[in-house]
Structure 1
Amino acid sequence: MKLKLLLTVFVTLFGILAHSQEQDSTKKVNLAAIPFVNYSKTLGTTFGAMTQGFYKVNRNDTVSPSSSSGLMGLYTTNKSYFFAAFQRLYLNEDRWRILAAVGFGNFNYQYLQDLPLLGGTFIDFGTGAKFAFTRVERQIYKELYGGVSGVISKTVTDFDLPDFVPDSIKADKRSMNNLGLILNYDKREHQMNPYGGYNIEIKDEFYREWLNSGNNFEKLELTYNHYYMLKNERNILATRMKAIVATGDVPFQGQSVVGHDDIRGYSNGKYRDNQVYAVQAEYRWRFYKKFGMVGFAGVASAVKQFGDIFSSEVLPGAGVGLRYLMIEKERINIGIDVAKGKDDWGLYFRIGESFGR
C-alpha cells in the first residue's frame, strides 16, 4: 500500500514536471526545484526538496562543464532530518574542480549486533552531525587530476541499549575530521550523465588525533566507472566497481554500510564493516522523447578484512527505475528506482544518474 501511494505521488510529480520544466538555453542560470519522496524499512517515508542552479562562471569558457549551487532538505517519518548547501565549480577551462558543502542533521538508524542470549538483533541508534566539506582538484596532465579534500565533522551517536548498559557506552561523542589525497583519471565525455568513456578515482582519507579526530585510522576508496554507448545515446550501459577499505583503529562511525548506489536494495543497516566491495551494471534506455527507464543489478560484500571476502555472504541487489530528462542541455535526469536486496528493499528518488555523484 505504501509503495503504491508513493508511486502515485511520483507519477503525479512526473506529469507536472513534464509540462512545466522546459529548458531555456538563453538563461544565464538554469534552475531545477524538485520535491521528492523516498521509502525504506528503517527511515520510513522521506519527504524532501532540492533546488539546484546550473551556470557558467565564465560564459566565454566553452571547455568547463557547468558549475552548480544547491540546497536540499529532508524529513522522515522516523523523525530523522537533514539539511545541506553545496557548491560545485569548474574553472579555467576545466583546469580546476572545486566541491564544497556544509550541513547538519540527525538520522535514526539501526545495525545488527550479536548479543549474549539474544543472538543477532537490531540495535537502534541515532547520529546527529554537523559537517563542512571541501575538495579541490587541479589538472595535472590532460585527463589526469590530483587534489586534496578535507572534512570537519562533529557527531553524537546514541545507542538504544538496555538499562543495565552503562551510559558511557550508550552515547558516543566524537569528531570525525580528516584530510584526503585524490587522484582521478577522467575520460568521461560528460560530468553529470556520460554517454561514453570512463573514470578511475583513488581517494585516501586520513583520520588522526592531531586533526582532533577521535581515532587514528584511514579509509581508502577505489572507484572505476565505465560507460558504453549501445547503438545511440538513448541506449547506455554503465558499469561500476567500488572498494572501500578502512584500516587502523576504525570506530563504529568509520565503518561502511552496504546500500545507496552501492548497492541499491539495502536500507536496514544490517550489513556494515570496515571494508565494502561492490560491482554492478545499469542499462539506461530513453524510450520516448525525454522519458526513460533503467534496469540494474549487482553484488556486494561487507567484511572485516580482505581475506574474509571469499567466505563472506554475497549480497545481491537488483531493480528498475523511471527517468525524465528535466534539463536537456545539462543532461539532468530526475527519477525513481525501486530495488530488492536480500531480505530488504528500498525506494529511491534521485536527481542525476547513479555512479555520477
Structure 2
Amino acid sequence: MLQHRAKLYQTKQHKTKLGSHLLLSSSLLLMTGQSAFADTGSQTDESANVEQGGWIDGLLENLGADGEYNQDKMIDFSVLPGPFYNPEMSFGVGVSAIGLYQVDKEDQVSQLSTLIINGFASANGALGIAVANKTFLQQDRLRFYVDAVIADAPEVYYGRGYDENRQDDNKVTFDNQQVSLAPSLRKRISAQSFIGIGMDFNYNSADDIDRGQSMVDSSMLVESSRSVGASLLVNYDSRDSVLSPRSGRLVELDSKWYRQEFGSQTDFNVQSLLYSEYLSIGESGDVLAWQVHGRFTQGDVPWDQLSALGGGGLLRGYNSGRYRDEQMLLAQVEYRLNLSGRHGMVFWGGAGGLADNIDKLSADELLPTAGVGYRFEVKPKVNLRLDMGFGNGDSGFYFNVNEAF
C-alpha cells in the first residue's frame, strides 16, 4: 500500500494531487542552496553572503532543521511550513514536522526512530494530514511501523489499463475523502531477516464527480470503498540505514488478504515483491541505487486498491491515479550525488507497465521516466527532496521526505 500512499506527497503540473504540498516551499530550499554555493568574488559580496548565510542558518536552526539530533529532547522535531498553489486546490499552506527519537537512550544498536507528520489546507477547502512512523526497539530486534492518512482532496480516474489511461479525454475528476491506517510489527529472525504481521484499513468516498467527456466506466466511484485486511511480511534487509541507505539490499515479500469477515466490502488479495540494492561509490559519498518492484492482485479489487504507477515514489513523472490496473511491474535506477555540506543531487531513469493479467504485461506498453532532484539534509539521514520527473506526455514536481526508494 505504500505506493498508494505515496501520492499524498506529490505536486503535479496541471494535474496535482493531494499531498505534494505538505512540505516546505521551494524558496527556502533555493535559499539554502544559494548560501552553500554563493559567489565570493569580492570582499563586499563575501560579507553579504556571510550575513545571508547566518540569517538562513539561524532560520533553519529555529525551525529545527540544523542537521543535528538532540538526544535530550523526547522527540527532536524540525517544523517546515510553505505556501503552495495549483489549479485544483487553489492557494494553501502545508506544514511538515519531522521528528527523531530513541525509545531507549541506552540502546546503541537501533537506528533513530522517526515520526513524520504532514498536513495541508487550501483556500477551496482541501484538507489533509498524513503520519508515517518508524520505531526501532530492543536493540533493533523489533520494528513497529505505522502509516495513517486522513484527507479530503481532488482525485482523478482514467479507467483501467494502458489504453484507457493514455487517453486524455477519459479523465474523470472528483473529491476523495480518504481514511487509512496500516500498523505493522516486524521481528528479527536472523542477522539480516525479519518477519512481520500487520493490518490494513482503507476507506475512500468520491463526491462531486465530474465525468466531462469521458467514456470510461466510472460508475464504481458512486459507491464508497472500504477495504480491511491482514498482512504477512518476510524480508532480507542488509541496508545500513532504513531512512537513507548507502549500502546493502532489501528483498521483500508482503502479502495482504482482504476479507468480508474482517469488515472489507469485497474479498481480494495483494502481493508486493520488492528488490532494492544500494552501492556506495568509493570515498565520494555518492550512491548508486536501483529497484525492481511488482504489485499483483487477485479477486474483486475495488478502484482505490488497484495497482498504480506514478506519484512521488513509483515512476515519478506520471500523475498518481491516472495509470491503474490489477498488475504492475517497474524498475528504476538512481544516482545520488553527494555535494558539499548538507546538499546533494539525484539523477534517475526507469520504466514500468501494468495490465489486468501478469501474462499481458508487455514491453510495447512501457511507461518511461527520467528526472533530476535536489536534496537537503534536515536531520541526520533525513532528507527533504525536490524532484522534477518527466514521463511520456506527463511530468511531475515533487516535495517529499526521504528518498523515493
Q: TM-score range by the shorter chain?
A: 0.7 to 0.9
Quote how far apart the aligned CAs of 1:85 are: 3.4
Structure 1 partner of 2:140: 94
The correspondence for 2:196, drawn from 147, 152, 156, is: 147
Instruction: Work out whether residues 89 and 122 of structure 2, in 8 Å CA contact, stay in contact via their aligned partners in 1.
Output: yes
Structure 1 partner of 2:384: 334
Instruction: Work out whether residues 146 and 183 of structure 1, in 8 Å CA contact, stay in contact via their aligned partners in 2.
Output: yes
Q: TM-score, normalised by structure 2?
A: 0.77
For residues 191-211 of structure 1, give each alpha carbon's deviation from its aligned partner in whole angstroms, at most 9, with x where no partner exists.
Answer: 111111001111011111111
Relative to structure 2, which stretch is displaced further, 95-104 or 25-34?
25-34
Percent same amino acid at aligned positions? 24
Is residue 268 of structure 2 the alignment partner of residue 212 of structure 1?
Answer: no
For residues 255-301 of structure 1, give each alpha carbon's deviation from its aligned partner in whole angstroms, at most 9, with x where no partner exists.
Answer: 02211211000016331111111100010111212111110110011
Closer, same or farther: CA 314–78 of 1 in aligned 2, 3 Å: farther
Greater fraction strand? 1
Quote how far apart the aligned CAs of 1:121 are: 1.6
Q: TM-score, normalised by structure 1?
A: 0.87
Is residue 239 of structure 2 the alignment partner of residue 193 of structure 1?
Answer: no
Provide the rounded CA distance (Å) in 2 between the counterparts of 1:171 and 1:204.
29
Provide the rounded CA distance (Å) in 1 between the counterparts of 2:82 and 2:279.
29
Instruction: Work out whether residues 120 and 128 of structure 2, in 8 Å CA contact, stay in contact via their aligned partners in 1.
Output: yes
Matched to 2:383, the amino acid is N
The correspondence for 1:225, drawn from 269, 276, 279, is: 276
Provide the rounded CA distance (Å) in 2 between the counterparts of 1:82 and 1:59.
33
Unaligned runs of 5+ in 1: none
Structure 2 partner of 1:307: 359
Matched to 1:11, the amino acid is L
Provide the rounded CA distance (Å) in 2 between the counterparts of 1:76 and 1:318.
30
Structure 1 partner of 2:177: 128
The correspondence for 1:82, drawn from 116, 123, 128, is: 128
Question: Residue 288 of structure 1: SS of its match in structure 2?
Answer: coil
Is residue 68 of structure 2 the alignment partner of residue 28 of structure 1?
Answer: no
Unaligned runs of 5+ in 2: 1-11, 14-24, 36-55
Structure 2 partner of 1:160: 210
Matched to 2:395, the amino acid is W
Provide the rounded CA distance (Å) in 2 between the counterparts of 1:43 and 1:246.
32
Provide the rounded CA distance (Å) in 1 between the counterparts of 2:220 and 2:181.
27
Quote how far apart the aligned CAs of 1:310 are: 2.1
Provide the rounded CA distance (Å) in 1 between the counterparts of 2:85 and 2:282.
35
1:33-48 aligned at under 5 Å gives the runs 33-36=79-82, 47-48=93-94
For residues 89-140 of structure 1, give each alpha carbon's deviation from its aligned partner in whole angstroms, at most 9, with x where no partner exists.
Answer: 100011100012433112311122489xx99521113321222220100011
What RMSD, in angstroms, separates the aligned Cα atoms of the two structures?
Answer: 3.0
Is residue 30 of structure 2 the alignment partner of residue 11 of structure 1?
Answer: yes
Is residue 107 of structure 2 the alignment partner of residue 61 of structure 1?
Answer: yes
Aligned residues: 347
Closer, same or farther: CA 233–209 of 1 in aligned 2, 3 Å: farther
Quote how far apart the aligned CAs of 1:87 are: 3.0
Question: Residue 102 of structure 1: SS of its match in structure 2?
Answer: strand
Is residue 170 of structure 2 the alignment partner of residue 137 of structure 1?
Answer: no
Provide the rounded CA distance (Å) in 2 between the counterparts of 1:205 and 1:294.
33
Structure 2 partner of 1:354: 404
Instruction: Work out whether residues 172 and 212 of structure 2, in 8 Å CA contact, stay in contact via their aligned partners in 1.
Output: no
Matched to 1:222, the amino acid is L
Is residue 160 of structure 2 the alignment partner of residue 109 of structure 1?
Answer: no
Provide the rounded CA distance (Å) in 2 between the counterparts of 1:319 and 1:349.
14
Provide the rounded CA distance (Å) in 1 between the counterparts of 2:319 and 2:72.
39
Provide the rounded CA distance (Å) in 2 between the counterparts of 1:302 and 1:77.
36
For residues 144-178 of structure 1, give each alpha carbon's deviation from its aligned partner in whole angstroms, at most 9, with x where no partner exists.
Answer: 10011112232212433479x99975521231111
